[in-house]
Amino acid sequence: MPYLKSLYNFAFRLTLDEDDANDLVQDAYMKAFRFFNTFEEGTNSKAWLFRILKNSFINEYRRKAKLPGKVDYQEVEAYYNSDDVDEVITPDLRVESVQDMIGDEITRALNSIDADFRLAIILCDIEGFTYEEMAKILDIPIGTVRSRLHRARQMLKEKLADYAKGLGYNVEN
């Protein structure tokens, strides 16, 4: 079964629940089998499968779990687009503090950011998709991929800085 482990990891990071991830992966493969004729030979099959799974997540799990609606990107991007953001908001997180964090802090930080931003980090930093592939999976322009990644990383660093403070590291700007 191609990319099964990656897909399961991806599904779990989206749903944050093992059973839901299990169902989501099964659903994705069933859809891939059913709609195999829509796959363009020569294109990235992994990206295609991820797109199916992402769409299933959006269609089924958000509705079922009654999660909050889509993030108001205009509000988030206005906040992070400020010229001052890199000066004021970006925490002075240090390599040592990140290295000393155990898995829990980092996964908690990642899981605490909104699914759409979390998705961007997972696809790029963990699964290694290119911006172009991400644009196809997420069905957004490449420019939006880049800005969403930028925002997601800012958010993640803020969360990690909070944990680092808890560990006793000085993260003053």
Partner 1 sequence: MFDFIGKWFSTDKGKEAEDRKIFMDAVHLMLDGEATPEQQKIVMDKIRCCQFSNSKYELEKCIREKLKSLYCCKEMPKNLDETILQKITSTQI
Closest distance between partner 1 and the C-beta of residue 24, in Å? Answer: 11
List, as one string, the DSSP characters of 47-111: HHHHHHHHHHIIIIIHHHHT------HHHHHHHHHSTTHHHHTS----HHHHHH--HHHHHHHHH
Tokens 């699964």: give the residue.
127
Residues that bind partner 1 (CB under 8 A): 1, 4-5, 8-9, 12-13, 18, 22, 25-26, 29-30, 33-34, 83, 86-87, 93-95, 98-99, 101, 103, 106-107, 110, 121-122, 124-126, 128, 130-131, 149-150, 153, 156-157, 160
Q: Which helix (H) or strand (E) holds 152?
A: helix 142-166
- CB nearer partner 1, residue 65 or residue 126: 126
- Comparing CB distances to partner 1, the nearer of 13 and 54 is 13
> In terms of CB distance, is 13 or 51 closer to partner 1?
13
Q: How far is the CB of 69 from partner 1 (least distance, A)?
A: 27
Q: Measured from the CB of residue 74, what is the shortest distance to partner 1 in angstroms?
A: 21
Q: Say which residues have a Cβ less than 8 Å from residue 106's Cβ, sequence separation at least 6.
A: 98, 160
